[in-house]
Amino acid sequence: MNTATKLSGFTLGLAAVFGTAYGVGQLTGPVTPAAETRHDNTETGHTGGGNEAGHTGADHTAGATDHLPGGLLVSDRGYTLQPVTAPAGEFAFRITGPDGQPVTRYDVAHDKRMHLIVARRDLSGFRHVHPELATDGTWRVASPLAGPGVWRAFADFTPTGGEPLTLGVDVTVPGELVERPLPTPVTSTTVDGYTVILSGAPQPGRTSQLTLTISRDGKPVTDLQPYLGAYGHLVALRQGDLAYLHVHPEGAPGDGRTPAGPAVSFAAEVPTAGTYRLFLDFRHGDAVHTAEFTVLAGDQAAPAPQAPATTAPTPDAGHGVPGHGHN
């Protein structure tokens, strides 16, 4: 019934080649052979714990889940994201730890102990909110799920004594579903009266600089307000499986070299070619605004603006060839 839920168990290498999902184990984790060999990683432990910069994915000795983008797994390294029944208008969940008990101790990262990001499976409806932790380990927040659809909820956190994790789970809000086609790629967008221009293009497997420049009424905004310890926060979601990338800004407010706009730069690395939706949160006028962009990474980005980014077959690449793929 809910086919979207079955998309969550990607194997990264296969995703790059076929752009499509293999069979997955839904809530129990991936069952592909490649993934099975990875499970011993969780048992042998992580000697690299505390290496907060170790998210580049370049270390071949690391466990396989280290190679996966965030957000694809509902359970990883002993930690599991569990939605909890909540009153209407509220969203609640907990994280259980390796001992099966709800986790109650978290490290602060980007000013918060828990970042909850939600988006519909069609990449609409993005929200980034900060739930409150109850003493029993339940996180609660006014529901950010704005309307019917299949949503992906990402919990981005660091359990005290553990490594940073982003777990993801599908949540269905019943009602009449309105499909929203992904907007075509552009380099300029407007939100709440601000114009945001994107320069730079993400390249698979290596770091690219993405710069977002913010203006209002034709004037550069030079008094951005810090938000979560930065002048901007950028989340990228991959179309197709909603792989989650939290991109770190270059520089920080108060470091003596990072201006408060109009440009905010990020070092971004996307794992594969594909279509991504970027969500830039920035704060100005005591309000947080979110600018959204569709971007193409890799060979799909080579030709000038393609019409709908979702279906265009690329004749020189393997995908799109009739009869290619499944058996």
Q: Are 121 and 242 in contact (CB under 8 A)?
A: yes
- Beta-bridged to residue 155, according to DSSP, are 116, 167
> Which amino acid is present at 222?
T
CB 35 to Cu ion: min, Å: 28
CA-based nearest residue to 284, from 231, 206, 247, 322: 231
CA distances from 212 to 38, 227, 239, 245, 252 (A): 37, 15, 21, 17, 15
Termini Cα distance of the chain: 22
Q: Segment 20-49, which members bind Cu ion (CB under 5 A)? A: none
Site residues for Cu ion, 141-180, by CB under 5 A, read: none
Provide, rounded to whole angstroms, the least separation between the CB of residue 85 and Cu ion: 24
The residue number with the shortest CB distance to Cu ion is 115
Residue 169 Cβ vs Cu ion, minimum distance, rounded to whole Å:
17
Q: Which is nearer to Cu ion, 156 or 170 (CB)?
A: 156
CA distance 235 to 291: 11
Q: How far is the CB of 221 from Cu ion (least distance, A)?
A: 21
Distance of closest approach, residue 153 Cβ to Cu ion, in angstroms: 13
Task: Decide: 180 and 192 in contact? Cβ < 8 Å.
Answer: no
Nearer to Cu ion, 77 or 115 (CB): 115
Bridge partners, residue 154, by sequence: 117, 168
| CB-nearer residue toward Cu ion: 268 or 297 | 268
Q: Which of residues 115-134 bind Cu ion (CB under 5 A)?
A: 115
Q: Sign (positive/negative) of CA torsion 298, 13, 171, 91?
A: negative
Task: Give residues 206-265 in contact with Cu ion (rule: CB under 5 A).
Answer: none
DSSP string, 261-284: SSEEEEEE-BSSSEEEEEEEEEEE
| Nearest CB to Cu ion, comparing residues 115 and 284 | 115
Site string for Cu ion, 80-119 (x = CB under 5 A): -----------------------------------x----
Minimum distance, C-beta of residue 299 to Cu ion, in the bound complex (Å): 33
Toward Cu ion, which CB reaches closer, 38 or 127?
A: 127
Residue with tokens 């609409």: 124
Size of the site for Cu ion (CB under 5 A): 1
Query: In the complex with Cu ion, which residue's Cβ is closer, 115 or 277?
Result: 115
**Nearer to Cu ion among residue 29 and residue 232 (C-beta):** 232
What are the residues binding Cu ion (CB under 5 A)?
115
